[in-house]
Amino acid sequence: MSCIGCERRSGPGTSLAYLLFIAGWISIVHQVRILHAQTEGDTGYNYEDAYDESYDDDSGLEPAFDVPIVNVTVVSGQTAVLPCSIEYLGKYKVVWLDHKSIPLTYEDRRVVDDFRFSIVRPYLKEWNLQILNIKWEDQGPYRCTINTNPVKSKKVMLHVKVPATIIDELSSDDMTVQEGEVVVLICNVSGEPRPDVTWYRRPAAITGKTIERERIGMTGEMIIIQNVSRYCDDIYECVASNGVPPSVSRQMRVTVEFAPEIQLPNRRMGQILGRETILECIITGYPQAINYWEKDGVKIMSMSSDRIRLEAYDEGNNMLILSLRISEVEPRDYGEYKCVASNSLGGDEETMILYESEASKLQSLPIITYSPLRTLVTPRLLPAEEAPLKNDRENWRMGKYVAPFTPNGSVSKHNAYFRFAILLLTSLTAISLRPNSLAMILTLSLACATAGLYGKPSLLALLV
């Protein structure tokens, strides 16, 4: 059983179209093979049989390239256009060959299975080869050929530049080493032209600030640090550049482990009873492990007393300040303290002494009192809060007066009045006597003795 109208129909017209299509492709492949063989120097065909005289231009002029040989340089990833301008082409054909002599185009059609290649013709006489998304492998000579006898060709050299690239898999990562070891840092790069590698370093401990990097006087893909120390603990950066932007860089953190060291700002500290004091020690080391204060061989804990508190401050650059704060110093707090630090690589300890300050022992000041009828000095000590005597008038009424100078160096008001009266009486007596008499000499001697008793500065002040 068959369906009416379902059978496939064919006729002379359809068969003729198929034959013409197949014949066209055979002709194209035949022409490309001939050109390829001509380029290699051995055609395998009779060139005169392949190209008859019907291809000659009616004007009798041979095709010629009107653009000199040029070099084209592009950066990988961009688009390259290889120029080819031909005068008097006539009925000749143009074929582009790559650096491996593989045909790429025939006239204005692409004959390779790579969509990146195409013919661009802004003008009729131009047969430019356009290559999209250039790769490093595309670099080399390209030829624009004309199927004349002999074949004419023009070479265009394609140079491809590749920006510098750092191969992470073959480069160094962050590392931790111990002091004294050897450090090898590798920055494996690629690019065209060959990139130059410059090394820099910057401190790793400072955060929140923009620190200028310091150039290391070395170039190359590898640096070696012999006998590394704690001062090499930084961030290292390699920068690769070959003149093709952008430059690339890679950072490597080098951490150096070392045994702790302790520094004491003060090895002896004095403090008054009841006052607050702070003992500090500076610990430098990595890693920071065990740090504490001890007194008389006993480890001090913050929770052991409300008066004592331990505080730690990270100063960066592997430095830690461990402080011991005592809010109210008691007699039992005086003595020897020890700051101890240790890690897996070693340890250190330093000792300091907290002693009672001499200022706490000065609970009184010396005050000298005199009797107005005696020249014998009898010193006595009064409490500091009672000096100078608070009521000079009462002391005067009771027949005694205080020393002319208070502890701060000022002159007592009543003593100044008394000295002025004595000096005035002795001066009047001396004036009433005859000059150079014995009485006048004794009177002046009495005045000088009085001034010496109560202080020469006061006498000078009164005379002025």
In a domain, 1, yes or no: no
* Alpha-carbon distances, residue 283 vs 208, 292, 324 (angstroms): 23, 10, 14
User: How many other CB atoms are there within 10 angstroms of residue 307's CB atom?
Assistant: 13
**Single pTM value for the model:** 0.57
Q: Which of 142, 161, 180 is the last residue of a domain?
A: 161
Shortest CA distance to 232 belongs to which of 216, 249, 212?
216
pLDDT for the residue 423: 61
Q: Residue written as tokens 């003149």?
A: 243
Residue 405, domain extent? 365-463
Asked if residue 398 and residue 380 are part of one domain, the reply reads yes
pLDDT for the residue 84: 93
Asked if residue 369 and residue 279 are part of one domain, the reply reads no
In a domain, 274, yes or no: yes
pLDDT for the residue 203: 86
Indicate which CATH number applies to the domain containing 48. 2.60.40.10
pLDDT for the residue 301: 82
In a domain, 31, yes or no: yes
Asked if residue 442 and residue 371 are part of one domain, the reply reads yes
Asked if residue 425 and residue 324 are part of one domain, the reply reads no
User: How many other CB atoms are there within 10 angstroms of residue 343's CB atom?
Assistant: 18
Asked if residue 141 and residue 111 are part of one domain, the reply reads yes
In a domain, 79, yes or no: yes
Asked if residue 201 and residue 235 are part of one domain, the reply reads yes
Q: pLDDT truncated to tens, each residue of the chain (464 aa)? A: 434 334 444 445 556 666 666 666 666 655 556 555 444 444 333 333 333 343 444 456 889 888 777 899 999 999 999 999 999 888 899 999 998 889 999 999 999 999 999 999 999 999 999 999 999 999 999 999 999 989 999 999 999 999 999 999 999 999 999 999 999 999 999 999 999 999 999 887 665 566 788 999 878 999 999 999 999 999 999 999 999 999 999 999 999 999 999 999 999 999 999 899 999 999 999 998 899 999 988 898 876 677 888 999 998 888 999 999 998 899 999 999 999 999 999 999 999 999 998 765 554 444 444 334 333 333 343 344 444 444 444 444 444 444 444 444 444 445 555 565 666 666 666 556 555 555 555 555 555 555 554 444 444 333 33
What is the domain count for the chain? 4
Asked if residue 112 and residue 35 are part of one domain, the reply reads yes
In a domain, 387, yes or no: yes
In a domain, 12, yes or no: no
Shortest CA distance to 288 belongs to which of 351, 352, 209, 205?
205
How many separate helices (H) and strands (E) can be counted in the chain? Answer: 6, 30
Asked if residue 372 and residue 318 are part of one domain, the reply reads no
In a domain, 5, yes or no: no
Asked if residue 144 and residue 41 are part of one domain, the reply reads yes
Q: Which of 237, 259, 281 is the last residue of a domain?
A: 259
Q: Which of 259, 282, 311 is the last residue of a domain?
A: 259
Asked if residue 270 and residue 255 are part of one domain, the reply reads no
Asked if residue 354 and residue 273 are part of one domain, the reply reads yes
Rounded (10°) CA dihedral 424, 430, 432, 434: -170
Asked if residue 327 and residue 386 are part of one domain, the reply reads no
